[in-house]
Structure 1
Amino acid sequence: MKSEPCQLLLIGIGGYGHYYIEAIQSFEKQGILKLVGIVDPAPESAPDWAELKKRNLREYASVEAFLNDPIRVDLAAIVSPISFHMSQSCALLRAGINVLCEKPIAATIEEVAAMKCARDESGKFLEIGYQWTFSPAIQELKADVLKGCFGRAEKLLTRVAWPRSSAYYQRNNWAGKIHNAQGRPVYDSPVNNATAHYLHNMLFILGEELHLSASPLSMTAECYRANEIENYDTACCKIETDIGADIYFYTTHATETVDGPIFRYIFENAEIHFSHGKDIVAHFEDGSQKTYGSPDGERMHKLRICIDRCSNTSTQDDICGVEAASAHTRCVNAFQKVPVQTIEKSFLEQTTRGANDTLTYLPQMESLMHEAYEREQLFSALDLAWTGKPTHIEFDTI
């Protein structure tokens, strides 16, 4: 007998919520999902609102409003700002609802601990939406890592340069901020938002079980600010992990052109390479190769997996639960201990992207990131005039 479709509550229909709505429409056509309600304090500002309001959906201004007048829901997808992830996830879990919460899991490790407690007490699942982690390509790659196909992990490196103009920082009241207008921590930065996937993925690949990430032991990092924001828009780091492999991560929004994500994972018997738009390929010492496909192919595979879990058509354990996602948050919290060095305007250039929209960038930033990445060094080691000293942090001190 065909099971009933999974009943979904979508929290946040603007911004990234658009991609959820596209996926929801596809899954509804397959008969496996039904969107029954939305939560958004200002739904009329979302581009999909005109179509959504034609449907027979329950509308709520907040999660609290939903809980005061609930309908049957199997799964809640949280696509709200970072500062709401903990409170909304905990409330929904305690109401007996499974949760798929967008990345990052939360702003602070204290919030992560509260979410773990709520999940454990509820008996429901809490998945965090790092879509690379859910992709078949990454799942197969990690399975091979755990089988020992590549030998011992030595070092993992990733670089990603994504331009973000002034419109990006003006789109809400918390972009580029440490705290939002209500004083809640958001720690918004490329590390915790746009390029969070790629630091998380290195931690996840090194985890000693399929549902775990490696634990960071220490970090040496640099944070820079080209834009007139509170937090940083450029960072690099070297992280020592509990399994003995080092992680190098380079990220910036202060760039004129798009570059990456690009990674090189170095193991005892193989190197694994990926460039955006291509497949992950393992190159073995004996000259053989194995291709895993692209981790970018199925953005909403995470939602499909959660639907299957709710419909009892899957016995899958957590793929990216609290245990996998929390290592990234620990790194984000460590970054917040690193002094942000403001780059002097004389080193920067600007270009107009549109009406009241300006891109501020470091010339040749992508080539500088490439050099640091290839040399396995932080920006300060390149003897650049705008760099400062790195900061070293031991994780038992954060």
Structure 2
Amino acid sequence: MIDVVLVGIEGYASSHFEAFLKRAKQGKVRIVGVVNPYSPKKETLNKLQEFNIPHFKTLESFYQNGRADLVNIASPIQFHCEQTCLALSNGSHVLCEKPLAATTVEVMEMMNYRDKTNLKVGIGYQWIYSSAFQQLKMDFVNGKFGKPKRLKSIVLWPRPEKYFHRSWAGKIKDDTGRWVLDSVTANATAHFLQNMFYIIGKSMNESQLPLKLVAESYRANHIENYDTSAIRTITDEGVEILFLASHAIQKNEVFGPEFEYEFENAVVKFTSVAGEDQNLIKAYYSDGTVDNYGSPFADDFLKIDHMLAAINVKNKTVDCSIEVASSHTLCISGIQQSVPSPVNFPKEKVHFDSIEQIVWVDQLSDVLKHSYKKWKMPHELKVNWAISGEVVSLERNELYRILKNEST
């Protein structure tokens, strides 16, 4: 039986709570505590009382009273590093929600604590743990697709104004000075950027790394960081990756996730558009053959079962380790360097939907979808408001150098 403490149980973290409760009922885990800075809501409190689960306001106070084999961290980005390091220093393995951390310096600190304690840390990019993605990755590693040529993905997900009222949403730093670097690309759509680096990593437990990057970042909402971005990166193996994402979209313009991965022998596609291919990963070969890998949405919490297996089996590796997830953090660092201050959309383009409470930009959805179709960034299509950032090289980043040394 694995003893688990859950850091975060409200909001998005409530889904983690339910997933662990399910496994507790199955006899796989015992929830020995939950950590939440505020008193839980009545419904949550009733469940805690039903299952006799103690509530603590901090992870430190939990460790003053007990121990755990595993800590599940589903707190805001700025706490991922310190809570992971605290858990490791108290002898607990860690399953931390994405993104890995706010900065590359924090990532290196997490790696150091993990290595000193010889414990395991998994990062919760759930598609990476899915059966569909694991089989896709295996086929790539085994050479079925040939070499990767270029990959692209787009996610247009509107967010209402109240989303940005959260203490971390759209923030560069929080009120205490902790780095957050929250954005559309750093958080809500992080999976779909990280997936591209992972799927072309040369082994099952590797991602390629961003080497050079150019970005465009914009904001329509009243936030510190950006709600819209376009990124092109060249990986350390010379593969082109294009990523487009926005929250400044009307509700009826939701689009994605959508992706297309081009290889020598096949093109792998995913669409969320209604139809027979909806939510299915499929590989299309030049001879007309099609492989169907199924849906990566099949079980968002396979990551828990994979983590439990990694704890139970000494030599079993974690599917999404710190190293695997570091590509995304490096990318976010590169975006902030490429565009130190996000560009404000022209005022005449910005509108407010008073019914849905959404800030949206006129024709932005069309521009980004056209960019996706053409494998271009908006500035390359001469969009009149589009401004390119600087080209950034990440090869001097200390985390990049550490990861390159580990992979050679």
CA distance in structure 2 between the aligned counterparts of 1:316 and 1:373, rounded to whole angstroms: 38
Give how far 1:210 is off: 1.0
1:319 and 2:319 correspond? yes
Q: Structure 1 residues 331, 41: closer, same or farther in 2, change over 3 A?
A: same
CA distance in structure 2 between the aligned counterparts of 1:41 and 1:352, rounded to whole angstroms: 33
In the superposition, the TM-score normalised over structure 2's length comes to: 0.92
Picking from 87, 90, 99, the partner of 2:85 is 90
Give how far 1:34 is off: 1.7
| Contact map agreement 1:347 1:362 (CA 8 A) in 2 | yes
Picking from 243, 247, 258, the partner of 1:249 is 243
> Which residue in 2 is equivalent to 1:189?
183
> Which residue in 2 is equivalent to 1:268?
264
Bigger shift: residues 146-155 or 18-27: 18-27
> Which residue in 2 is equivalent to 1:390?
389
| Contact map agreement 1:265 1:272 (CA 8 A) in 2 | yes
Matches within 5 A, 1:191-340: 191-256=185-250, 257-276=253-272, 277-312=278-313, 316-337=316-337, 338=339, 339-340=341-342
Residue 378 of structure 1 aligns with an amino acid whose one-letter code is M
| Contact map agreement 1:206 1:243 (CA 8 A) in 2 | no
**Higher helix fraction: Structure 1 or Structure 2?**
2
Picking from 325, 344, 347, the partner of 1:345 is 347
1:377 and 2:376 correspond? yes
Give how far 1:397 is off: 5.0
1:35 and 2:37 correspond? no
| Contact map agreement 1:102 1:129 (CA 8 A) in 2 | yes
Matches within 5 A, 1:69-218: 69-71=65-67, 73-170=68-165, 172-218=166-212
SS in 2 for 1:219: strand
| Contact map agreement 2:120 2:311 (CA 8 A) in 1 | no
Q: Structure 1 residues 26, 44: closer, same or farther in 2, change over 3 A?
A: closer
1:25 and 2:21 correspond? yes
Matches within 5 A, 1:362-373: 362-373=361-372
CA distance in structure 1 between the aligned counterparts of 2:243 and 2:355, rounded to whole angstroms: 28
Give how far 1:60 is off: 1.3
Residue 284 of structure 1 aligns with an amino acid whose one-letter code is Y
| Contact map agreement 1:224 1:232 (CA 8 A) in 2 | yes
SS in 2 for 1:396: coil
Deviations 1:361-380 (A, max 9, x none): 11232222111011111011
SS in 2 for 1:366: helix
CA distance in structure 1 between the aligned counterparts of 2:181 and 2:323, rounded to whole angstroms: 20
In the superposition, the TM-score normalised over structure 1's length comes to: 0.94
CA distance in structure 2 between the aligned counterparts of 1:246 and 1:301, rounded to whole angstroms: 30
| Contact map agreement 1:165 1:353 (CA 8 A) in 2 | no
| Contact map agreement 2:95 2:121 (CA 8 A) in 1 | yes
CA distance in structure 2 between the aligned counterparts of 1:212 and 1:46, rounded to whole angstroms: 43
CA distance in structure 1 between the aligned counterparts of 2:296 and 2:180, rounded to whole angstroms: 27
Residue 341 of structure 1 aligns with an amino acid whose one-letter code is V
CA distance in structure 2 between the aligned counterparts of 1:272 and 1:28, rounded to whole angstroms: 37
| Contact map agreement 2:102 2:180 (CA 8 A) in 1 | yes
Deviations 1:52-99 (A, max 9, x none): 24431222111111222223x111100111111111101111111110
| Contact map agreement 2:149 2:263 (CA 8 A) in 1 | yes
| Contact map agreement 2:307 2:318 (CA 8 A) in 1 | no
CA distance in structure 1 between the aligned counterparts of 2:32 and 2:62, rounded to whole angstroms: 12
| Contact map agreement 2:88 2:117 (CA 8 A) in 1 | yes
SS in 2 for 1:381: helix
| Contact map agreement 1:174 1:188 (CA 8 A) in 2 | yes
Residue 379 of structure 1 aligns with an amino acid whose one-letter code is P
Bigger shift: residues 42-51 or 75-84: 42-51
CA distance in structure 2 between the aligned counterparts of 1:184 and 1:47, rounded to whole angstroms: 31
Give how far 1:315 is off: 5.1
| Contact map agreement 2:379 2:387 (CA 8 A) in 1 | yes
Give how far 1:29 is off: 2.5
Structure 1: which 4+ aligned runs deviate by more than 3 Å?
none
Deviations 1:117-158 (A, max 9, x none): 111111110000000111111111111111111111000000
CA distance in structure 1 between the aligned counterparts of 2:122 and 2:175, rounded to whole angstroms: 27
Give how far 1:224 is off: 0.4
| Contact map agreement 1:179 1:187 (CA 8 A) in 2 | yes
Q: Structure 1 residues 186, 47: closer, same or farther in 2, change over 3 A?
A: farther
SS in 2 for 1:192: helix
| Contact map agreement 1:157 1:248 (CA 8 A) in 2 | yes
Give how far 1:45 is off: 4.3
